[in-house]
Chain A
Amino acid sequence: MRLVLVGTSHHRAPVELREQLFVSAAENRELVERLAGADAEAVVLSTCNRTELYLAHGDDEAAQARAFAELTALAGLAESEIAPALYTLTDEAAALHVFRVAAGLDSLIPGEAQILGQVRGAYEAAREADTAGPVLHRVFRQALRVGRRVRTETAIGENPASISSAAAELAERVFGTLEGRRILVLGAGKMSDLATVNLISRGVDSVFVANRSVERAERLARRFGGRAAGLDAVEAELENADVVVASTSASGYVLSAEQVERAMRARKGRPIFFVDIAVPRDIDPAVNEIEGCYLYDVDDLERVVEESVAGRREEAVRAEAIVADEAERFRDWQLSLDVVPAIASLRALAESIREDELARAEGRLGSLSPSQRRAVESLTAQIVNKLLHPPTVRMKEAAAAADGVLYADAIRHLFALEDDDHPARKPRK
């Protein structure tokens, strides 16, 4: 069985084409069943950044043609139009690719975490549709393991990759956990919304929105189950807030250092973390000088994100080594498929000879007690195992050196083995 991948991603296809090629969860089952047919295995991975069809088939050219036809139909384009956007990879290269994808190394932001869940989803969908056979089971299980290894053995996914997550992580550096913290949001625009969503996902449980238009503030506050008021209520709310997110469209400062100083006196030194993502800025920069106040504006946060992404790239070098190591394991496994059937047949032959000879000796052995019978069974089994151990090991070593087929043929010839039968050689159904 050959492993074949045909697909496209953000590296090759513009967003318009990716949109056309996107396969929803509902469409996934039908597509994998069509791709697998009666003679192949299939998994479809489709996200906003990629659509990739993985097939395992005895004939790689037939598999490629099948995948190509499906993608062309999905895009609704002529073959010549879609061809430049597609890539085709086989066997070890295809495995290496899916391992890199699962590790987040092929993502726009190295190490992003979402892709591992998407790979798992694609594999689960194929399992439910019963279109994943021995080869794709092996590839995708290994890909999921690679994804986990990369995230635990490197720091690739540890630092924030967006302004809102950078702000949340910095706030955690001040407070530890954000669970039970109070957030004061100044402005009711999209940026406030994004930052608030991120903070809420980390446990913030009380939201107060202040905006020039109270109606818009109330609309945003309702989304998060919070309260709302006009900007004149800000100073009073400062006494209770732990994190302040500011992104109004005001032309001057909405929050002065004097206001914050007054609030800090009432707070008895409890710290506040300020995130000012407005341009022009909403919070007087002098606030950062006040004891217990930490202020980050949009430039500061962008620097944190840039640095974090650069750090992820450094970690990506370590992650690539893990991926390469796993790809080599896959290659060894795939090569071993050439000899595994011969080994299985040889062992089956030896076992049947052993059982036949034991049955024939039944009369001569007389009446054996159960423990004596077990001893004879064990003895004969050990002889067979010891005899077959060296040729088994040698054949596996030969498989890794690409001579496996020669050895397997020699074994079949010497022991007069019939055509062997192994799941990885056979089609799925």
Chain B
Amino acid sequence: MLFWPALAGYVEAAVAYLGDSVRPGRLARFAIWGVRLGWLAQTGLLAAQAARAEGFPWGSWAGSLNLFVWLVVGTYLVWGCRSPFRLLGLAVMPLAVALFVVAWAAGGAGSHSRSELGDVFLAFHVGFVLAAFAGFTLAAGLAGLYLWQERRLKRHAPGLLRQRAPSQEALDRLTARTVAVAVPALTLGLAVGAVRLTLEGGGFDALMAVALAVWVAYTGFLFLRYQAGWRGRRTAYLALAGIAFVVAALVPVSHF
């Protein structure tokens, strides 16, 4: 039942952000409320799933996608309410809608989602990894916004100053900081997974390989940003390239 109000909130927010990008200022408030109400409804949905499940309810790939959407939107809410960052909603909310629908279609957002996995180790493993992936997704959104604004600044695009957006330096800095927070979360998640693998046994699969690739990519990002002094356009492209691994880990590899 709570899936539909959550989806309605997210869809309303995505449409309002689109409208706000065309005519700034009018629809932003509706968009923010859409995000808030949708996120509250999804929180209720997750709470209901947790209450009914016997073990960890988001262990299936569809269930973890549901949790991932909740984490992404929740993290976005931290900044999204501030007017310069509203544009980020234009990137985040359509993605959230799409992933949420996929999670629902695959049975991850229903009231009887199957709990394939049930131990505490796994809950921590999935929780940390998904929180890190949510951070990488937001970093990619910020990087996309950086490149979009850079293009507009370079081309002297009309309406440049009427559109409220963070400065280029703020976007660059926030992208790097978000990755800097997400990488330790991913490291912890992978470490917990590795301990569980050692204790309970099991093989090294494609999902683990992609997760490791994600870790290598973003650790490389941090090295290039903070040690080699990369910034601006180059780090934005790096953040966007990294998200391709995240998408690979979240959907196709997990599914097949």
Interface residues of A (CB under 8 A from B): 155, 158-160, 166, 169-170, 172-176, 268-271, 288-289, 291-292, 294, 296, 300, 303-304, 307-308, 311
Q: Which 9 A-B pairs have the closest CB atoms?
A: A176-B167, A268-B229, A300-B156, A269-B231, A174-B168, A176-B170, A294-B153, A269-B232, A159-B161
Within 209-232 of B, Cβ neighbours of A (below 8 Å) are at 229-232
**Given the complex, which residues of B lie within 8 Å of A160, measured CB to CB?**
161
Q: In the assembly, what is the distance between CA of A172 and CA of B232, in Å?
A: 16
Name which residue of chain B comes closest to A299, CB basis: B156
Q: In the assembly, what is the distance between CA of A173 and CA of B234, in Å?
A: 19
Find A308's partner among B161, B167, B169 (CB 8 Å cutoff).
Answer: B161
Q: In the assembly, what is the distance between CA of A303 and CA of B25, in Å?
A: 22
Q: In the assembly, what is the distance between CA of A269 and CA of B225, in Å?
A: 11
Does any Cβ of A come within 8 Å of B233's Cβ? yes
Q: In the assembly, what is the distance between CA of A166 and CA of B158, in Å?
A: 13
A163 to chain B, nearest CB (A): 13
> Cβ of A170 and Cβ of B169 under 8 Å apart?
no
Q: In the assembly, what is the distance between CA of A52 and CA of B158, in Å?
A: 38
**Given the complex, which residues of A lie within 8 Å of B185, measured CB to CB?**
none
Name which residue of chain B comes closest to A169, CB basis: B161
**Given the complex, which residues of B lie within 8 Å of A268, measured CB to CB?**
229, 231
Find B231's partner among A170, A270, A300, A304 (CB 8 Å cutoff).
Answer: A270
> Cβ of A173 and Cβ of B25 under 8 Å apart?
no
**Given the complex, which residues of A lie within 8 Å of B158, measured CB to CB?**
303, 307
Find A296's partner among B156, B170, B231 (CB 8 Å cutoff).
Answer: B156
B164 to chain A, nearest CB (A): 9
> Cβ of B233 and Cβ of A175 under 8 Å apart?
no
> Cβ of A269 and Cβ of B160 under 8 Å apart?
no
Q: In the assembly, what is the distance between CA of A274 and CA of B253, in Å?
A: 47
A137 to chain B, nearest CB (A): 34
Q: In the assembly, what is the distance between CA of A289 and CA of B158, in Å?
A: 18
Q: In the assembly, what is the distance between CA of A167 and CA of B153, in Å?
A: 12
A284 to chain B, nearest CB (A): 15
Name which residue of chain B comes closest to A171, CB basis: B167
> Cβ of B161 and Cβ of A269 under 8 Å apart?
no
**Given the complex, which residues of B lie within 8 Å of A311, measured CB to CB?**
162
B83 to chain A, nearest CB (A): 11
